[in-house]
Chain A
């Protein structure tokens, strides 16, 4: 149980049976009056934003959230299927719940899946993943528009800019937090 004075940015709560995260928080206490806790909350399932003002004395249930280590198996249509590495149970996320993470998902990649009670609602990738370049155009030296980089396409379909020496078939390391090239994988 949380009290109003526990409220802060990034705290996760359960409101009307759904998990919310506080994305913006302001404490106010006008003059000699009572404290107000103004929160902007994001629904962790639907992404909907709520504005709420709470007062001293209000109490809140923590959101019942759990992360489980899982392996990515495959996707079919807009469903992405993962397997729990301990009990081999399979769970499924929709494409919009996977979001940009789909750019980095390759078979057997281990990820953390976030559950609200028994429902999977989100994914956390490793900070760094290795992916294979499937398409790279030759670099045109002296191209002042592109500078010292060129575009390539990876096995997941993701495109990004990399240094000119990267060729088709090369494996590269990416930072999943920025989506940027880090280094070439040494074979």
Chain B
């Protein structure tokens, strides 16, 4: 599967890159518990910061397959240590990311000898493009017991998403969930024609969240304000806070308009091998010692 993914991006002119796994300062995301080293560095929860610095340095198409680390995340779909595929494309927006997803996953499935239709946990998924695209607000209207605004103001957004939406997303066709409320994406650009939402997209296959991406925010001032807001949230939640990633903010000034996506390789492997648990697609889990 990894060979198919690498082949797909190489053929389209993407450069495979490697970036440091140890970060002196991370993105201050509110809901990630970082894995820290004895010297105070953080094992990267994603390669996003350095990948964008490469974009700013003039590499317009890059991808990376990297081990990533997020503390306190363990369940049937989560490992503290997992594999992310990230790719970035200068000049593209989130619509381009969706097309790349369709083509890339379709080609990986073909190379693995799977047909256009695959089965995941008893449900058929038709991989024929184009896949369904619905906004978060539409998905709440369709599947949740309350509209999106109400769920957010009552603090039930995540619960509704997990309990009512996710099980219904991504079968019999893959679904892109798009246009998240602007408050829910720290690094995504607002939609120019609808600034209350941002150009963020999540891909679901068979009820599994597979990938998250967005049209990148390239305004360093707005990015700084959002980081400061996230930092306050981390403080409120009693999580460790860090200084802002100043080198990244400085590079953002030179970064071209671009879009980037992070895709969980283990999750994609679950879908393509019809595995119920993430444990089934890795050689060792934390509990194996």
Residues of chain A at the chain B interface (Cβ within 8 Å): 5, 25-36, 38, 53, 56-57
Contacts and interface: CB of A to CB of B under 8 A. Distances in A.
A32 B76 CA distance: 18
B75 A28 contact: yes
Contacts of B30: 34
Interface of B: 29-31, 72-78, 157-159, 161-163, 166, 180, 184-186, 202, 209, 212, 237-238
A23 to B, nearest CB: 15
16 contacts: A5-B72, A25-B75, A27-B75, A28-B75, A28-B158, A30-B162, A30-B209, A31-B209, A32-B185, A34-B31, A34-B158, A35-B31, A36-B159, A36-B162, A38-B163, A57-B238
A32 B209 contact: no
Contacts, number: 58
B170 to A, nearest CB: 13
Contacts of B166: 28, 30
Given A27-B74, A57-B237, A57-B238, A33 B158 contact: yes
Residue of B30, B72, B184 with highest tally of chain A CB at under 10 A: B72
A29 B76 contact: no
The 5 closest A-B pairs by CB, nearest first: A27-B75, A33-B158, A5-B72, A28-B162, A34-B31
B76 A26 contact: yes
A120 to B, nearest CB: 33
A55 to B, nearest CB: 8
Nearest to A30: B161
Contacts of A29: 31, 73, 78
A122 B72 CA distance: 33
Contacts of B75: 25-28
A27 B73 contact: yes
Contacts of A36: 158-159, 162
Contacts of A27: 73-78
A53 B237 CA distance: 18
A21 to B, nearest CB: 19
Contacts of A33: 31, 157-158, 161, 184
Nearest to A51: B163
Contacts of A34: 30-31, 158
A109 to B, nearest CB: 36
Given A38-B163, A53-B163, 19 more contacts: A27-B74, A27-B78, A28-B158, A28-B166, A29-B73, A29-B78, A30-B161, A30-B166, A30-B209, A31-B180, A31-B184, A31-B202, A32-B31, A32-B184, A32-B186, A34-B31, A35-B72, A36-B158, A36-B162
A81 B157 CA distance: 52
Contacts of A35: 31, 72-73
A26 B77 CA distance: 9
A141 B180 CA distance: 74
B281 to A, nearest CB: 17
Contact of B29 (A30, A32, A57): A32
Nearest to A56: B237
B212 A32 contact: yes
Contacts of B72: 5, 35, 56
Contacts of B186: 32
Contacts of A57: 237-238
A159 to B, nearest CB: 39
A27 to B, nearest CB: 3
A178 to B, nearest CB: 27
A46 to B, nearest CB: 25
A53 B159 contact: yes
B271 to A, nearest CB: 17
Contacts of B159: 36, 53
A32 B158 CA distance: 10
